[in-house]
Amino acid sequence: MLEKLLLLQSCEGEIAVASGKRKPISLTVATAGPKDFSKSRALQPKAHRLIPGGAHTFAKGDDQYPEHAPAFISRGKGCHVWDFDGNEFIEFGMGLRAVTLGHAFEPVVEAAYKQMQLGANFNRPAKIEVDLAESMLEVIDGADMVKFAKNGSDVTTAAVKLARAYTGRDLVAICGDQPFFSTDDWFIGSTEMNAGIPQAVINMTLKFRYNDIESLRELFDRYPKQIACVLMEAEAVTPPIADYLMQVKKLCEARGAVLIFDEMITGFRWHLGGAQKYHAVIPHLSTFGKGMGNGFAIAALAGKREIMRLGGLDHDQKRVFLLSTTHGAETHALAATLETIRIYHEHSVVAFLWRQGEQLRGLVNQSIAENRLEGFFQLIGRPCNLVFETRDQDQNRSQAFRTLFMQELIRRGVLAPSFVVSFSHGDADIKRTAEAVSEAHIVYRKALDEGIDKYLEGRPVKPVNREFS
């Protein structure tokens, strides 16, 4: 049954079924060459007139892509998308890593649709809230309670608030080497883009370095009994050195702080139960989001009963206003998540993501060697979460070379701000992508040798979080 549904949804490449049964079907990815983006271009001024930045998420903005890039997406199926001009691309990263199974993935869409027909929101909780809570807690080791929300930022912010209430302390220690935890002031205040955030709020967030236990210890020493929580990703692109995560946990417990793992990216990717399961270090609280509902808006705060219960009714301490939102338990997002979890279990999705990433990494590394790009172009991160690093002729990190590489991939029908795979990236998609990478690398090599200006069309991309436009 599922295979039949996957056949419907996977319209190009191979059917992404982790059971091992794959059925090749025709690949219709657009061939290399300049693409017509004229309809998209015509819409861009209107988008910028109506929406600050022209998009509702910074990471999707025009400044994040080359000038010749699809500006608006009309639809997606599996790992393929079609832009407003009708150009087709193999997409990586998909929905800022939220779409882990595939675009318009039939079983998930069906589950959500069925639930929508029963009603999206009621005055009292829907039974499915309990069903999903049970299902989530089965996959998150050591968590006793869970609460749902719509965005990752909501749940990391809720974790911080809960930790502050639980400890009676104000300061928050975050890992300064990891890029993002929340859209809320306690985190954005710590970035370059902190306009509009009071200095008093900015001062309450401290930073430590990843894989450097002494930098965390120093913070605890400098601010004794003031740090409420330590918030970090168990792993981003750099793996933890031996025992580091356990040392962090022990230090938190010795100094009376709550350890929070942000599993927005690692959850449903490193392991269904997140990087905490992968590394066998259980935090006191953890936050999940992207990946849970295959693109539907859902996030979760999970953790120890002793802390989580402060958001409940069975205690006599001061109550914590914990994630009480109108849309937090919208029923079809919960149904989509239940179905996503079921598919993960049934089809070993995590193993598939690692395998496909590994396959792509092998092919890209081959191209790096063939084009003498060692030291200039590098894939980093785990196979399930590959990103690329681009460097110029002096081996300095380069946004211009990142733009050139993306530009050349786009010409060849690949839309890749990263190489983060999904369950829909079949072998044919990986092979096609590797071919595009290899051709893009030839241009990259020439740009290193002859100067990038000769090859880059338009301005380079810019970092998302920056002080000025």
Smallest gap from Cβ 181 to ligand PLP, in A, equals: 5
C-alpha distances in Å from residue 265, one per residue of 88, 171, 237, 273: 26, 25, 11, 12
Element (H, E) at 191: none
Contact track, ligand PLP, 7-46, x by CB under 6 A: ----------------------------------------
Smallest gap from Cβ 82 to ligand PLP, in A, equals: 25
Smallest gap from Cβ 198 to ligand PLP, in A, equals: 21
Residue 78 is classified by DSSP as: B
| Binding test (CB under 6 A) with ligand PLP, winner from 65, 180, 376, 444 | 180
Contact track, ligand PLP, 97-126, x by CB under 6 A: ------------------------------
**Interaction of residue 152 with ligand PLP, rule CB under 6 A:** yes
Smallest gap from Cβ 56 to ligand PLP, in A, equals: 11
**Interaction of residue 205 with ligand PLP, rule CB under 6 A:** no
**Interaction of residue 385 with ligand PLP, rule CB under 6 A:** no
- Residue 66's nearest CA partner among 29, 28, 34, 102 is 34
| Residue 13 zone, left/alpha/beta (φ > 0; ψ -120 to 50; rest) | left
Q: Which stretch binds ligand PLP (CB under 6 A): 19-27, 34-42, 150-158, 215-223?
A: 150-158
**Interaction of residue 274 with ligand PLP, rule CB under 6 A:** no
**Interaction of residue 70 with ligand PLP, rule CB under 6 A:** no
Q: Encoding tokens for residue 207?
A: 């930073």
Judged by beta carbon, residue 184 or residue 408, the one nearer ligand PLP is 184
Smallest gap from Cβ 468 to ligand PLP, in A, equals: 22
Helices 244-255 & 213-222 angle (0-180, nearest 10) = 10
What is the number of H-type helices and E-type strands within the chain? 15, 13
Element (H, E) at 354: helix 349-370
Smallest gap from Cβ 98 to ligand PLP, in A, equals: 8
Binders of ligand PLP in range 238-267 (CB under 6 A):
262, 264-265
Smallest gap from Cβ 228 to ligand PLP, in A, equals: 18
A 10 A CB-CB count for 287 gives 30
Residues in contact with 272: Cβ distance below 8 Å, sequence separation at least 6, in sequence order = 139, 341, 344, 345, 349, 350
> Where in 65-113 does DSSP place strands (E)?
73-77, 80-83, 88-91
Binders of ligand PLP in range 181-200 (CB under 6 A):
181-183
In sequence order, what are the beta bridge partners of 300? 148, 288
Interface positions with ligand PLP (CB under 6 A): 96, 151-153, 156, 180-183, 233, 262, 264-265, 289
